[in-house]
């Protein structure tokens, strides 16, 4: 059973994080980058995530690692979001998979941990052109997550 998270490294840029996936396919460098997304609002960021491609210096968000650690990787990305929100408490983070199956994987993760996530965060899902409050059992195209105002 997978558990825990990988050690994080914050990049020199404010919006970049690194970690390594470790499994049967070796040690694979992962990258998470928060990209300002002004069309969604002043504090909005798109979360880009995937394998780091050493040859291009960019994220490959279509890579399939198959390193038998997907839950640990998702938990680590969740830790990245929590760390980022510590620095940007008013951030609105857009999460959308590079494929519909990846978006579905994110949705399953949100649904699985909805009880814990829902205490601290608001999550909206995109249905058609509309952003609606997240509910289990509804298929979404993307997600917005932000810290609840107390």
Rounded average pLDDT per 10-residue block, the chain, 150 residues: 81 90 96 95 95 93 92 92 94 95 91 88 96 95 92
Phi, psi of 15, deg, nearest 5: -105, 15
* Per-residue pLDDT, 1: 34
Q: What is each CA distance from 102 to 3, 41, 63, in whole angstroms?
A: 20, 25, 11
* Per-residue pLDDT, 3: 67
* Per-residue pLDDT, 15: 94
Domain edges within the chain: 9-147
Angle between helices 100-112 and 70-87 (to 10 degrees): 80
* Per-residue pLDDT, 86: 92
């Amino acid at each position: 059973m997978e558990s825990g998270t990988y050690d994080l490294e914050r990049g020199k840029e404010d919006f970049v994080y690194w970690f390594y996936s470790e499994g049967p396919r070796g040690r694979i460098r992962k990258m998470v980058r928060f990209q300002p997304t002004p069309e969604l609002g002043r504090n909005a960021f798109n979360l880009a995530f995937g394998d780091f491609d050493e040859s291009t210096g960019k994220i490959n968000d279509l890579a399939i690692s198959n390193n038998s650690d997907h839950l640990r990787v998702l938990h680590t990305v969740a830790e990245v979001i929590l760390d980022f929100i510590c620095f940007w408490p008013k951030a609105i983070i857009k999460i959308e998979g590079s494929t519909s199956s990846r978006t579905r994987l994110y949705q399953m993760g949100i649904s699985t941990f909805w009880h814990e996530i829902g205490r601290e965060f608001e999550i909206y899902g995109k249905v058609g052109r509309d952003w609606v409050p997240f509910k289990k059992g509804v298929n979404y195209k993307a997600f917005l997550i932000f810290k609840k105002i107390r």
